[in-house]
Structure 1
Amino acid sequence: MKPYQQIAIDECGEPLVPIPPEHFAFEIPHPYQNLGAPYHNSKANSPYYLRQGVVDSLIAAQTELQQNYQNWKILIFDAYRPVEVQQFMVDYTFNQIAVAQGCEFPVSEDKRQVIIEHVYQFWAVPSLDRATPPPHSTGAALDVTLADKNNRRIDMGSPIDEISERSYPDYFANSNHPKEQQYHRNRQILKNAMINAGFQQHPNEWWHFCLGDQMWAWLTNQNNSVNPLIARYGRY
């Protein structure tokens, strides 16, 4: 169990709604759908859904961004992710790592354990327990980056979903290399827009932000010990 999964959930019942396309850029075709991830079995047959309150805050983040960077947009890479899709992507990532390491299939149990622990550093366990939902399965977490007026991605120094230390939000913070300094500035621009709109950032992923789920409450409570929060969004 990860620390944030100890946070209690008081489900508010807020609906899952589509992210309005007029405000944002989108990753199209969606990379997980392209791999065959089973969105068709879910309550929303698209990854581009979030809880209503999260969408409202995302629009606020976009407004905040454009006050300083008028031609930039938040690009939505991924949002709502049913548990079945979470399982699909965990399995896919496991296989990719196993192949890259030259493993023979079926993977031996000791090697399998090493790989799965590595996978779970970046992917949440696809739990069906309502007390420990994967963040994306709540409709309160999303993966985002920035795009310019032509919908071209702003360079953040590493791709979304890369399983390495380069994914850590402040990985380039102390670099003296001009290009890497720019990567850090770009990450900070995204972070500031999202944080000012009420989101929290995943400690290990520059692209992952959440609002109202267990991780959000856990991260908020680290600076709010007097009146600790609980999650208002559980598995949808």
Structure 2
Amino acid sequence: MTTPVLMSDPKVAVVPVAECGERLVDVRAGGALLVDTRKQDPADAFAYLREGVLARVLHAQELLPRGLRLLFVEGYRPLSLQRAYFVEYAEQLRALYPEWPDEQIHAAASRYVSPPEIAPHSAGAAIDLTLADEDGRELDLGTRMNADPEESDGACFTDATNISENARANRELLGSVLTAAGLVNYGFEWWHYSFGDRYWALAKGEGAALYGPKELDEPHLVR
């Protein structure tokens, strides 16, 4: 298994951002996507994506076999929440591995939570999602969504070998339609795909990211 580039890798941070100014849109408008509320927040920030990201996700859904749908779990995440998630997980790792230096804690934490300064979710560029049947029942993809590496013994990594053949096939199907629509996966999280952010730009050899950090209360939101 090829080790993916970490979100904390300096190669990601140095990618410039050429902010295109695209709107954040509510993925629930129109009802085309199944939307899970497990990550819902008081401001409903979770349900927003950049317009271009949503268009590509909807295209990916059209590529699925009959009877299957994408199940949206989380999109946009405010910077304040991203910081809280990162600090919380880093502290968990520090308690588990007190001998690790800060640099190692930071790198290990970025397998599961993006460092706030480059987080795709805070740009509205990333989506956490899975596969479901027409009734919204989740398919087996090997772990629960948002399982961390310690809990899952690394089975949360997209190319993990310690999952069933059925789960592997479902991961490959999910990846095939999303990559065909132009998104890229973060290989430490089978459920995380993005478009237009720094990680996407690095993976695709683009000169700059299209989307940088964005605040939800900016005036060009579409509900």
**What range is the shorter-chain TM-score in?**
0.7 to 0.9
Of 105, 118, 137, the residue aligned with 2:108 is 118
Structure-1 residue corresponding to 2:217:
none
> CA shift at 1:30, angstroms?
2.1
> CA shift at 1:4, angstroms?
1.7
- The question of whether the paired residues in 1 share the 8 Å contact of 2:33 and 2:72 is answered with yes
Distance 1:195 1:71 in 2: 20
Distance 1:6 1:116 in 2: 17
Of 140, 145, 157, the residue aligned with 2:130 is 145
- Correspondence 1:157-196 to 2 at 5 A: 157-164=142-149, 165-172=154-161, 180-196=164-180
> CA shift at 1:27, angstroms?
1.9
Unaligned runs of 5+ in 1: 34-38, 128-132, 222-227
> CA shift at 1:220, angstroms?
0.9
Greater C-alpha radius of gyration:
1
- 1:59-84 CA deviation, whole Å, 9 max, x = no partner? 1011111xx2x121111111101111
Runs (4 or more) in structure 1 with deviation over 3 Å come to 94-99, 110-117
Structure-2 residue corresponding to 1:225:
none
> CA shift at 1:229, angstroms?
3.4
- The question of whether the paired residues in 2 share the 8 Å contact of 1:199 and 1:210 is answered with yes
Higher percent of residues as helix:
1
Structure-1 residue corresponding to 2:221:
none
Distance 1:141 1:126 in 2: 13
Unaligned runs of 5+ in 2: 1-7, 215-223
SS at match of 1:144: strand
Q: How many residues are aligned here?
A: 200
Identity among equivalent positions (%) equals: 26
Distance 2:179 2:198 in 1: 16
2:189 is the counterpart of 1:205: yes
- The question of whether the paired residues in 2 share the 8 Å contact of 1:23 and 1:62 is answered with no
SS at match of 2:116: coil
Distance 1:235 1:30 in 2: 20
2:76 is the counterpart of 1:77: no
When normalised by structure 2's length, the TM-score is 0.80
